[in-house]
Structure 1
Amino acid sequence: MIKVQNQYNSSNGKAYRWFVVTGILVVLLVVFLAFNFYDALSKNQLEARKQFLNKQVELAAKDIQNHFGITYDDMVFFVNNLEPWTYDVPNEQLAFEGRTRRIFNNHRNLLDTIVVEFPDQVVTFYFDQRNNFIKNSFDTIDEAIQDKAAYINFENPVKNVKIWVAVNIDRFLGDQLGNYYLGINSEKLLYFNGQLFGVFEYMPTKGYSIQPDVFKAIQKDIDIGLRGSYQGFLSNQPENREFEALIFQYPFSLYPLNEKFSVVFVQDRQSITSGVFSTYAYLLAGLMFLLVVVILILYRFIKNSQESNIKLAQNSNKIASLFRQQNLLLQESRGFIYFQDAERRMTNVSGEVLKILGYDEAEFIQGFKSFIDPKDDKKLDAIIQKAILNKEESFSLEFNFKKKSGEWLRVRVFEKLFYDDQGNFTGNVGICTDIQDRFLADQELFKSNNRLISVLRSLPDIIFIYNNEGVFLDYYVQDESLLIRPARESIGKYIKDVLPEPLSLEIMEGFEKVKRTGKLVNIEFEAISQSGKKIFETRLFKLDDDRVISIARDITGQKLWEKGLQEAMEAAELANKAKSEFLANMSHEIRTPMNGLLGIIGLMEKTNLDAQQQEFLQVIKDSGQSLSVIINDILDYSKIEAGMMKLEVSKFHFKKEIEKILKIFNGLVQEKRIRLRYTFGPLMPEYVQLDRSKLGQILFNLIGNAVKFTPEEGEISIQINGELFMDTNVILHFTIKDSGIGIAADKISSLTQPFVQADGSTTREYKGTGLGLAISEKLIELMGGELNITSELGKGSVFSFNVYGTVWLEDEHDLSELAEQKSEEFEWFDMAKDYPVDILLVEDNETNLKFMQMLMKELGYEITIAKNGVEAVSAVRENHYDLVLMDIQMPKMNGLEATEIIRQMEDEKKFVPIIGLSANAFQEDINKAISIGMDGYLTKPVQVQEIALTIKKHHQLKIKKEAL
């Protein structure tokens, strides 16, 4: 028992001595650490302050130089765009004074006076002490400027105009340096022509001097344009104190001024480290506390080590599980981990790289540098070198990686950098994540915002934006004659100062209601605008938390309609007549160039084209033909309303036709990065028989609306199902769903009315005629179906309809119709050998003449040309022709008048077939032409095949007549 007790006491004695020795060592270590830590803390504080001041003085100098340079560039641009006749044109004079005021507002802290010297007068601009913008006129420059040396001269010798600018350098420099806060016991100084000035209340102040030898060194560096840092004594006369300071200066220039400038920042050196002493006391106390903690830790160390070994085995399983979870997380986030050594050589990479980039681990380790975009590779190297130089712990960067498939993938890398005890870079570990979808979304959002601003500027309504106090911030106005005063004069003013009473009171009441409730407020009022008395409807609503927007529309015409129904009816009749004339002219003006376009396409189809060119040409041709169909239906909308529209049934491959329609929207869909999906149901027939052009127009309108109203990176889905009944009949169901802006519930019922849109205001974002849905609904009803519309604001719309058709099975139907169609598709190139005729072309449009001459050359015909009806009559009277292609609208004598005269000449000449060739597509125009005596009528745009078939037909009639 005694032996055991002695062993126990001996063990305790050893432990006691061990702890005593350990305690002494720890005390010595604490003292050593306290001294070194204080020294390191002081040096670090001093070095950090030096870096801060060095960076700030550079930023301040560059900021001053950049702001002065911007002012100089604005004045150069101003004088280069100034015209000597500005004050001869009232509108130009107002615009010029507005630009002058904007320049003052942009550079108020620098500019004092602007003097503009025109050839016949001199105009000066400045702000007085009450902040009023003052303009004065003088006869000569000497009257306007007493001391020209105090002004900067900007001259445009070509236009004989000059601008003299007086600048306040003191105010400018003081204001610029006033933006920088350096902390306590610091000074912001300016070096100007050998003197130092302090900045007090944003104005330079004298009374500062630096130790002479240090000041000479500063002057020397400034004279040769070098930045510098110094240490010396600074005397501050305004505060009557002298101190040892850290001094940093950065020179700058203010072109075209010749003086030397430099920003000088000064910091009291003693104040930087003064706070370390108090910190040291707390630190020492903390270290003593740490000493106690360390002793306790040493006591517990042996006991805990055994327990830790037991837990280590348990935790190893948890760590393995954690790594498995980490791998799953990388897979879900589409990323992989990689490791690099001190030479930036790839040492290891996780297996997820195969899924992300397509390379296996060995391929990526060996060639990862070649997979980075060269531009991004240089940028990446620069960032890495900078991070290592600054001993940064981590950095992140976005760049492009080339996948094994050849596609570029946008990725984001985050790298953790490791250093040894000496601060040497030893390697890094990084995580690379696929951010392609987010990158594309950000790009599309930027484009969308730009388009939104462009659309807003093009809206015809009167749009003003205010802050929450009712001050005008911005405007978008197309017609300023509708305003009480020019819009630019309102910027920066309150509503009550711009609008007269009681209108201003009414507007402010609505303004306050919008701020209070957040709801839209409608206000209707009368005002005397620059173009006379007008009635306006204004909508006020919150643009965001800080701004309110007003959208005003001139509704004078609407109110006049309400006051006098009879007058409105007469006005409507006149408007309808004008619309008819406009549509007729529009038909002619659109179809004339389209005739050349589609005609040239027909000729190009016969040239040698590669597969891609043929595909492009087919898209242009399909788009042009679709446009022609749409124009026809718009111009004949009255025929739809009267129930006179007839279906033209044809047989076609259904899926190919649908895909051809969708292909028209391919460019716009790719531009907006819209995800457009379409699916066909399981019971869809391969061939159907119905009106292909009407179905195409319906889909063109509905899909076009979906693409137009779907935001960038939105989604559009098209579902097409077929329902067979009675063997050969089919009901085709179409559903077009988009993720667009949606439609208010109270607007859906009026969408299918002609010339009506969900947003009928002149400020609407999406333009259109308002006929698309009206025509579509009529055509759907004509084809035996019904149009249904469901929508929710902000979530999108669903347009669904069905039409009836017939399933066409080749083994059960007569193919004679297709055979006839194919038989008409003869080879028309150089057909004059087989179908010789003498042709007279009557056409005044140069584009169509070029097209027809090219076409006739391809057909093998030498034709005679007449450019108006007078020449056509003369040509028929003097020569014999087998066919006359006659335009309708021509100068001197139109085609109808010429046809009447030619028909009256039949006793003298043999009968000549006359084919109308015009852009007038109204049925009454065609009927009139036939009744006058034309034998046919081709509506522009005319297809090459139509011309060729017409010539062939009349040659065959000629042969038959000669045989009789």
Structure 2
Amino acid sequence: MSVAEFGIIEIDYLSGRAVADEKAAVLFGLPANQEVTREEVHRRFHPDDVFDIEQKVKASLEPDGTGEFATQHRVVHPKGEIRWVSVRKRIFFDEVDGKRVPVSGMVAAIDITEQKETEHNIRTGETRLKLAAEVTGFGTYDLDIRSSDCVWSDEIYRIFGIEIGETFPRNAMFDRVHPEDRARYRQLFLSLSGKDVKHSFKLEHRIVRADGEVRWIVNSGLLLFDERHPGSIPERVIGTMQDITDRKLFEQSLQDARHAAEAANRSRGEFLANMSHEIRTPMAAILGHADILRDHLQDPDNLQVVDTIRRNGNFLLGIINDILDLSKIDAGKLEVAKRPVRPDAIVAEVRSLMDVRAAEKKLPLKIEFDGPVPEIIHTDAIRIRQILVNLVGNAIKFTDEGVVRLTVRFDEEDSRLQFHVIDTGIGIPSDEIDKLFDPFVQVDNTSTRSFGGTGLGLAICHRLAHALNGQVDVESQYGVGSRFTLSVKVDPHVQLVNPNLALSVSADVPHGEIKLDAKVLVVDDRRDIRYLAQHFIERAGGEVVTATNGKEAVEFMATGDAEDVDLIVMDMQMPIMDGYDATSELRKRGFELPIIALTANAMNSDRDVCLSVGCTDYTTKPLDSRLLIRMIDRLLTA
């Protein structure tokens, strides 16, 4: 700063007058090069600064005073403008009667308003930054790696649990890193060496505070390298730290909750699978042996007894299936497998299944098509059939006189295929309709006593329809009859066909008697199931050998007696070695012939697992003798 930039005020203490040059006149708002009183100059001082100025003047006039002082203060111009000046004053003395008396003085002043404004802005910014750091929990640091000197903000002290102002150990940043995180911390900094002169980084890790408490922080910053030697050891680290312990604890609680939920779902799924296996397996034995017994009876009374066993067994199996289905739906375990299917063929299957039940009540079951229907739709045919069988079965159950109709129409405007099940039965009171789709609920208790059932069917239909991107609606008039409608969304660009012709083509055609010329290994831990499978296969002309678990089957297939085995029927849930491991082991040993998975867990995911370990096809319990024989025949002749 050159002398030429300063303004000068000369003071005569004897006369009390002062003269300001042109620069000083501008600074203080005084007339240039004209005498003014000292009071006139003093009136330019900002009221808040007067006391400080007077104290410094007084000190300089003391007998031991130097007669010099420097200060910074504000001046107020006549028009109210306030400026900051930096002042240096020198007082000259004479000796009068042995006393030092001020005679004259000189004031050198320069405008520092811009400097003060800059300092104010910096302080304001620092204050805001400090407040923001306190609110957000951010701390800042500047570490000189060569000297280990570090400048920390107050928040860093709080994060590390050290009193503000206390001497911070030089290596505290690394020494306080949790021992289990130090290798990762060190590796990060080693990996950042490169060609650039600076690298950014961000790392979440734990620290051990001075009081021993473990906290989580996120450490973000810049590594600065010597510009003359890029890629060398970094010289400096500038960064921020934030305590994220609460966030980490919350994330951990979410993770624990998710793991607990997943474990609960797995347990629920395993329970459903076990329930399905443990219930379906003995039911398969009961129904299968009833079928075998019927083949050996001729007396009408005995046949009636067996038919009663079969009818009630199938009824019980239906209830069990309903309970398991509803549980699987609620657990999110019941899957739908959408494939290309013919709607008219589904209707033909429903008619084939329900004709006998309608005939038992002497009710006509009429199938009607209201116009063309799509030739092919993409949906789960098994679930569509399940819904329609339930709706038609209910219509037959609650109708004593009249007719039951299944009417199919395609709504081209909404691209929905609609199945209307209409009956002339007892109907439903209007105030009970809302309860229909609640599980375990029927319109009144007398329905259960008079017609049987659990009240699960419609709840399952409702949920299955939603899974198929559809819905089930009901209209009913008490004492007159009901209409249940299943509507399913389909591709609007489907090809429409004449359903009557298609239905007659898709009607069941007798397949004739299948004769097997094959040796089959049946593997199941339940004697009853082994007996049933053996009976069905031998009745069709096949030869059967058996094993009670997967280990026994694998060992048998390694002997010479297994050379002429053409196919294996493998139960998947067995002790010692289950069917999954046994199938996988057989495939590893080179067995390439068909293996049919036999399981009581009728879920698509279970089918996929069976196929993934090497099974060729898949069937479920209870055993359907015709389905089993057709499957064996198809696989052996493929």
TM-score by length of 2: 0.44
Q: Work out which structure has the larger RCO, using CA pairs closer than 8 Å and 6 or more positions apart in sequence.
A: 2
TM-score by length of 1: 0.31
Structure with the largest fraction of helix: 1
User: Could you say which structure has the larger radius of gyration?
Assistant: 2
